[in-house]
Structure 1
């Protein structure tokens, strides 16, 4: 898969479709490939986190720093798989697994109390105190 949409073969498209559990149509994959090539400014076949940060919607996301670690060095297949979690056609399981990876910042397969506080900190910024965050987290945990 080179750096031009003409280099995306039918086989490539079908392979990417399979990789992302058919979340995207073939035409959507071609469009995503064109966007991938625009983001891959140095044409190396991978998108760095810095290149991804040029997307305005991503740059203003309060969780962008958490997503940053998931994005660095994505090839096209991984790029599509990453985006598939945001699709309305993604399964609930896909969405839950993605969110879990965002929350599990150390990648140990567990979401700790401190990781939850970090998420609350990312989402609320300077608007509430550390003590209030802890109380809010405990209330959410107890009463859902």
Structure 2
């Protein structure tokens, strides 16, 4: 499975399904393998940041720079594992853990007000002022029982986003 020129076997498919907690069907995994092979232009078995940036939907995503640190150098199994966070079959906890990793840029298990503000800057660009971003974020944190000085851990994210009706899904076209 390391070499993209090889065919995907039934064993490979089942291994990938198990790795991603069965968030994709066998047909979806085969379709994702085709997409992975298209992205892996040099056939090395890994997808680089540049290859990911060749995807228009990835390149225009305001969080693409943050996501690149998570996707650079993924093999096929890791690629599907990454995408499993966007599967309709992924649990809410899995989705929130993924979001937490995006916010926790230094990977120390805590998210600060400044980390959240950086994400808001990426998402809002010039559409709202810095003062408005800070006010909105302060209100959201206060509504959840936190302050601007709080350092949030994963369980805090679960508390804040757990009842949010979070939708984070992509459809995998299957031929």
TM range (shorter): over 0.9
Partner secondary structure for residue 86 of structure 2: coil
- State the Cα distance separating 1:82 from its structure 2 match: 0.4
Unaligned runs of 5+ in 1: none
Distance 2:125 2:106 in 1: 21
Q: Please give the per-residue CA displacement for 1:60-100, whole angstroms capped at 9, x wherever unaligned.
A: 11111111111110010110000000011111111111111
Residue 75, structure 1, aligned to residue 81, structure 2: no
Structure 2 partner of 1:24: 24
RMSD in angstroms over aligned alpha carbons?
A: 1.1
Q: How does 1:105-144 map to 2 (within 5 A)?
A: 105-144=105-144
- State the Cα distance separating 1:110 from its structure 2 match: 0.7
- State the Cα distance separating 1:129 from its structure 2 match: 2.1
Structure 1 partner of 2:7: 7
Distance 2:107 2:42 in 1: 29
Partner secondary structure for residue 33 of structure 2: helix
Distance 1:111 1:50 in 2: 28
Partner secondary structure for residue 85 of structure 1: helix
Distance 2:96 2:139 in 1: 21
- State the Cα distance separating 1:131 from its structure 2 match: 2.1
Pick the structure with more helix per residue: 1
Partner secondary structure for residue 42 of structure 1: coil
Structure 2 partner of 1:51: 51
Unaligned runs of 5+ in 2: 145-175
Q: TM-score, length-normalised on structure 2?
A: 0.78
Structure 2 partner of 1:38: 38
State the structure with bigger RCO (CA 8 A, min sep 6), 1 or 2: 2
